[in-house]
Structures are given as structure tokens and as C-alpha cells.
Amino acid sequence: MGARTGRTLVGLAVAICGLAGVGAAADPASEFPFATPGPLRDAYMQAMIDGCFRNQRADPTNSTESDADLEKYCRCIAEAVAGHTTREDIEYRKKNHAVSPATADWVMQAARACAQDIIR
């Protein structure tokens, strides 16, 4: 995940952000509906990890990456996204069928940080 992380992360950010609507039925009373441990967060995270892993494994630039490293990378991003996703993010995604520029920015920041964590 070294020098190629920029190109790979763009595709990943789109894939991860596309899952923002997965938990549209999240607890409406919570500003961060997926930040609290429980079945809703677990389902949201598993959907993100699975989608991320499939996308990363399908990317030819990741052919030398181990499944364990790709899963670690995807889990790292899912943790960051789940903890940061707000009701507003979910509503924006549902209304616009896309993520907000602000959401895309923080997902990319999380992806870069997670990539750095993997390639130490």
C-alpha cells in the first residue's frame, strides 16, 4: 500500500462512502448513530469491511498485499467512518445519492492514516 495509496484510496473512498446509507434506520436520537457498540454498528461496520475488502482485493495494485493487511486496512477505515458518521451524513447520502465533500475529505484522511498504519 506504499506509493500507490493515492490512486487506490480514491476508489476506496468512493466505495466506503457509498455505504453511508447502509444504516439509514440508525438510532435517530444519536448524532453519531454508529459510534456506540451494538448490533447496528456491527452490521454497518461489517458491510463497510466486506465492501472495502472486495474492492481492495480486486484492485491489481494490491496483488502483493496479504488478506490480513487488507482486512486490517479496511477495519481501520470502518472504525473511523462508523465513529464519525452523523445523522446528517446519512440524510445527505439518501437525498443526494452521493456523499458530501466534507464526508469525502474525512474518509480520505482516515484512509491515508490507515494506510500509513499498515505500511510501517
pTM: 0.76
Supply 33's cell numbers.
448513530
H/E segment holding residue 103: helix 101-118
Q: Give average pLDDT by consecutive 10-residue segment, the chain, 120 residues.
A: 46 49 55 89 91 91 91 92 89 89 88 81
Domain with 87 in it? 5-118
Which burial class, exposed, middle or buried, applies to 49 when counting CB atoms under 10 A from its CB (0-12, 13-18, 19+)? Answer: buried
Give the CA distances from residue 91 to residues 21, 23, 50, 80, 81, in Å, rounded to whole numbers and listed in that order. 8, 10, 23, 19, 15
Number of folded domains that form the chain: 1
The predicted structure's pLDDT at residue 119: 65
The predicted structure's pLDDT at residue 50: 93
Supply 92's cell numbers.
445527505
The predicted structure's pLDDT at residue 28: 58
